Structure 1
Amino acid sequence: MASVALIVLAVILGRALVRRRAVLARWQVIPGWIAVAAMLVLAVALSPGEFELRKFVGACLMPAGLVWLGLLAFARILARRAGRPLAGVALALWLLFTLAGNAWLGNFALERLQRGYANVDPLGQGQFDAVLVLGGGVEVSDDGSPTLTAAGDRVVLAVRLFRAGRTPLLLATGPYLLLPGGVATSNAAATAAIWMQLGVPEGSIVLLEGPRTTTDEVLALKTAVAERGWQRVGLLTSAWHLPRAMRLCRRYGVEAVPLPADAVGTPPPRLRFLVPQQDGFQSVQTACWETLGMLAGR
């Protein structure tokens, strides 16, 4: 983290020197640039080493990194040729792009969402009549084969709960899908297929096909509980998704025990995470989507 702080300070000092070069004497400018160089050298010395520097350079050469550097250079060019207003707009766009793809910010937001659920042990919550796994953990390829998504931990955790004897029934949910060639299936059926491949008997799986949103899934669970008379059910989804899901359960009068999967943690203080990247965009968007969903009551 010290290397990151030194780089930021070097950038701030360098920018100040460039902006005030017309009013500063040479004897004032030269020590300033020596200080900038010294901070950058110290940042390299304090960095984890050549491996981390390669990762940083590689991140800068990726499409998002090139756009990030290009926006910063564009803001600098506008500052010199078009004046401060346009440069300020370009700099604001650069800052927005930086935040939108920042892995630290995205994971911090997700950690705030999952607070209160992340430390819950799903295997230590007792016995259930059934456990509902919310959709999103599986996707279906064009040939109909199911694959796990980034949220696939919830699908595997459900099997662990079943194998540990915590529940006799696993509930899969998800919308209907029409594959190329007119073949119909559903995300719920895809989840069930993976469970059976992992040794869960078909008779221990209940499909709740059709729901497209979290609200639909909660309402489908409410109907299933009323029809089957289950007394204690678990609701299994990503830890950061549980606040919205449990809020909907309370709204519609569904009593369910939250079971968190794939809780996220803050990325380590590495130089590469200064650069906007895929993981950052994904986590920031997920956090924004969950927050928007809660505000909209969906």
Structure 2
Amino acid sequence: MFFFLSKLIWFFVQPLGLLLLGLLLATAGFLYRSRRLARRLVMALTLAFAAICVLPVGDLMILPLENRFAKPRELPATMEGIIVLGGAEQNVLSGARGEPMLNGAGERLFAALDLARRFPEAQIVFSGGLGDPWNGIPPQSDIFRDVMLMAGVPEQRLLLEGQARNTDENVLLLKQMVQPQPGQNWVVVTSAYHMPRSMGLFAKAGWKVVPWPVDYRGLPPTLLPRADLVEQIDVLNIAMHEWIGLVAYWTTGRIDTPFPGP
């Protein structure tokens, strides 16, 4: 229930969802003769959209998330396993094209390959599902496996979990599968903006891991807007998703603090 409810709520509270909802309300106002309210709503939406386009709102929101956990200068001499959280894999597109496809978070896989080279004895553990075999949509774990094999990683080094639908399930299902022992060293790879929520879940599960943040999106705020408007809105979208996710996970008891830190 939490998974489906979270997806439904996010559809309406993401930036474009809020814009669509506002336009629908404004249209209803014009149709039902509440034109003054409708005009005010359209004006507010226009000003808000202009602010998003001009001001570094997304950067200001995402930088605290990305800077919360720094990449360690040194890693332990030995590593039991490299944990990679799903999110970089394009399920539907991979199924449609018949080959592994990645999105903008593909750096997670590149970082995993680098760590696998540095720790040749470490197991590479991945969690990510959302597959639909009836419609030819592979789980994220299948795409991850294909990329690793294409890069020359031996299949026996891979331990894959392909049922998780969100970060909470990533951590819980991985812990059940791996059963980590005290004294073992594990490193977790995910996008920097996603690291606070992930580390909060690992802490809640009693699993001590080393953060390895990658895939940074935020830029130091300036008075000049980004040249790419789509990128600017995308950064805001990601930041809002993470902040709302942190609040949702905290209020439902999935993490102990609203903003997990080192």
Tell me the TM-score normalised to structure 2 length.
0.71
Equivalent in the alignment of 1:203: 156
Equivalent in the alignment of 2:131: 177
Match of 1:163 among 102, 108, 117: 117
Structure 2 gap segments, 5+ residues each: 1-15, 24-34, 255-262
Equivalent residue of 1:240, what SS? helix
**Could you say if the C-alpha distance between residues 102 and 222 of structure 1 is closer, same or farther in structure 2, counting changes exceeding 3 Å?**
farther
Match of 2:140 among 187, 190, 198: 187
**1:1-298 correspondence to structure 2 within 5 Å:** 88-101=40-53, 104-117=56-69, 119-121=70-72, 124-126=74-76, 127-140=78-91, 141=94, 142-165=96-119, 168-178=122-132, 182-183=135-136, 185-226=138-179, 231-266=184-219, 269=222, 271=224, 273=226, 277-297=229-249
Equivalent residue of 1:138, what SS? coil
Q: Whole-Å Cα distance in 2 between the matches of residues 229 and 206 of structure 1? A: 20
**Could you say if the C-alpha distance between residues 220 and 85 of structure 1 is closer, same or farther in structure 2, counting changes exceeding 3 Å?**
closer
Equivalent residues of 2:89, 2:102 under 8 A apart? yes
Query: CA offsets per residue over residues 166-219 of structure 1, 9 Å max, x none?
Result: 65211122114235x754632111111101111211111111110011000000
**Could you say if the C-alpha distance between residues 268 and 256 of structure 1 is closer, same or farther in structure 2, counting changes exceeding 3 Å?**
closer
**Could you say if the C-alpha distance between residues 185 and 230 of structure 1 is closer, same or farther in structure 2, counting changes exceeding 3 Å?**
farther
**Could you say which structure has the higher helix fraction?**
1
Q: Whole-Å Cα distance in 2 between the matches of residues 143 and 215 of structure 1? A: 29
Shift of 1:264: 2.7
Shift of 1:99: 3.9
Tell me the TM-score normalised to structure 1 length.
0.63
Structure 1 gap segments, 5+ residues each: 1-63, 72-82
Q: Whole-Å Cα distance in 1 between the matches of residues 217 and 39 of structure 2? A: 36
Q: Whole-Å Cα distance in 1 between the matches of residues 121 and 196 of structure 2? A: 23
Deviates more, 1:260-269 or 1:140-149: 260-269
RMSD: 3.1
Q: Whole-Å Cα distance in 1 between the matches of residues 199 and 54 of structure 2? A: 28
Equivalent residue of 1:163, what SS? helix
**Could you say if the C-alpha distance between residues 196 and 228 of structure 1 is closer, same or farther in structure 2, counting changes exceeding 3 Å?**
farther
Equivalent residues of 1:98, 1:276 under 8 A apart? no
Alignment-mate amino acid for residue 231 of structure 1:
Q
**Could you say if the C-alpha distance between residues 288 and 217 of structure 1 is closer, same or farther in structure 2, counting changes exceeding 3 Å?**
same
Query: CA offsets per residue over residues 14-61 of structure 1, 9 Å max, x none?
Result: xxxxxxxxxxxxxxxxxxxxxxxxxxxxxxxxxxxxxxxxxxxxxxxx
Query: CA offsets per residue over residues 216-238 of structure 1, 9 Å max, x none?
Result: 00001211332788822111100
Equivalent residues of 1:177, 1:187 under 8 A apart? yes
Equivalent in the alignment of 1:53: none
Equivalent in the alignment of 2:12: none
Sequence identity of aligned pairs in percent? 27
Q: Whole-Å Cα distance in 2 between the matches of residues 230 and 207 of structure 1? A: 23
* Number of aligned positions between the proteins: 215
Q: Whole-Å Cα distance in 2 between the matches of residues 103 and 136 of structure 1? A: 28
